[in-house]
Amino acid sequence: MITAIVQYRLPSNIDLAACAAHFRNIAPGFRTVPGLIRKQFIYAEDGWAGGVYLWRTRADAEAFYSGPWLAGIRERYGMDPQIKYFETACITDNSVEAVLLPDAAE
């Protein structure tokens, strides 16, 4: 599994309320993204926002980030996002009371 942290700077007129409203509007569309396991939408007080994504494979992530999603980020925020990839060795998921051990980490 791959964790990707994606960040982009918001225009100064987008505050937490506006960002959260946008995220809540687009969140259902991520339910059908191939290879996406989970996405956390994030906002920081310094004007950066983005997501923390959990992917089945890096290829899934790269395919998504190079498609229409990238064009949308460029159009809305006028920049390319910063994307950093991490191998996910282990996940503690308290919502299901489990520790998940991805196959790649064995």
Q: Write the pLDDT tens digit of every residue in 31-44.
A: 999 999 999 999 99
Q: Residue 104 has what pLDDT?
A: 55
Classified as helix, coil or strand, 77 is: helix
Model confidence at 103, pLDDT cuts 50, 70, 90, reads confident
- Packing angle between helix 58-65 and helix 68-77, nearest 10 degrees? 50
List, as one string, the DSSP characters of 21-56.
Answer: HHHHHHGGGGGG-TTEEEEEEEE-TTSEEEEEEEES
Is residue 42 within 8 Å of residue 49, measured between CB atoms?
A: yes
pLDDT one-digit tens code per residue, 33-87: 999 999 999 999 999 999 999 999 999 999 999 989 999 999 999 999 999 999 9
CATH number reported for the structural domain that contains residue 19 in this entry? 3.30.70.100
Query: Domain tally for the chain?
Result: 1
Q: Which domain holds residue 32?
A: 2-105
Model confidence at 106, pLDDT cuts 50, 70, 90, reads very low
